[in-house]
């Protein structure tokens, strides 16, 4: 199933990368790998936990260059190995409602020659949230993180 984005509410990063889907999946689902690429440099990811199942938790702590930490806690909604990963911060682990929802993320990967068609969709609840995320640097940030993921995947 491919997500059909709503351009008023969603942001999409799509690219063909030169690593196979299995390595993209491994980078997305293994905490020690996620810590190495998830946050665009000079930011860092200082901690990561993955409970890879629907209802399982996702937790990543990002640190800004000035040392501020930003915890991100969410819940996996869908897990299709080597193909699709859906998670949201609207829910906490165990499907508990979150106090401050921002996005649902859909990561879709599929074979493309010797590489992978990678599509990341950030689904927002309203146009204001989408615009805020875009102004925060969605395309640059998520694009840089993808470059870091690809560089890491080539070493796995």
pLDDT at 124 over 70: yes
| Contact indicator for 156, 26 with CB cutoff of 8 Å | yes
- pLDDT digits over 24-44, tens only? 999 999 999 999 999 999 999
Q: Is 52 helix (H, G, I), strand (E, B) or coil?
A: coil
Contact call for residues 40 and 146 (beta carbons, < 8 A): no
Give 51-106 pLDDT, tens digit per residue.
999 999 999 999 999 999 999 999 999 999 999 999 999 999 999 998 888 899 99
- Tell me the domain boundaries of the chain: 10-153
Which numeric CATH code is attached to 10-153? 3.30.530.20
C-alpha to C-alpha distance for 60 and 119, rounded to whole angstroms: 21
The token duo for 7 is: 């351009």
pLDDT range class, residue 8, cuts 50, 70, 90: very high
């Amino acid at each position: 199933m491919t997500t059909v984005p709503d351009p008023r509410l969603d942001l999409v990063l799509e690219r063909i990368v030169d690593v196979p889907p299995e390595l993209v999946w491994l980078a997305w689902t293994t905490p020690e790998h996620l810590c190495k690429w998830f946050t665009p440099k000079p930011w860092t990811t200082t901690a990561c936990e993955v409970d890879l199942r629907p209802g399982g938790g996702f937790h990543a702590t990002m640190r800004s260059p000035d040392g501020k930490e930003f915890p991100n806690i969410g819940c996996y909604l869908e897990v299709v190995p080597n193909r699709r990963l859906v998670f949201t911060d609207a829910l906490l682990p165990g499907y508990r409602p979150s106090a401050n929802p921002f996005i649902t993320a859909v990561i879709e990967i599929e074979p493309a020659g010797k590489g992978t068609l990678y599509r990341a969709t950030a689904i927002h609840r309203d146009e204001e949230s989408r615009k805020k995320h875009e102004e925060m640097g969605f395309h640059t940030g998520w694009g840089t993180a993808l470059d870091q993921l690809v560089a890491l995947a080539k070493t796995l």
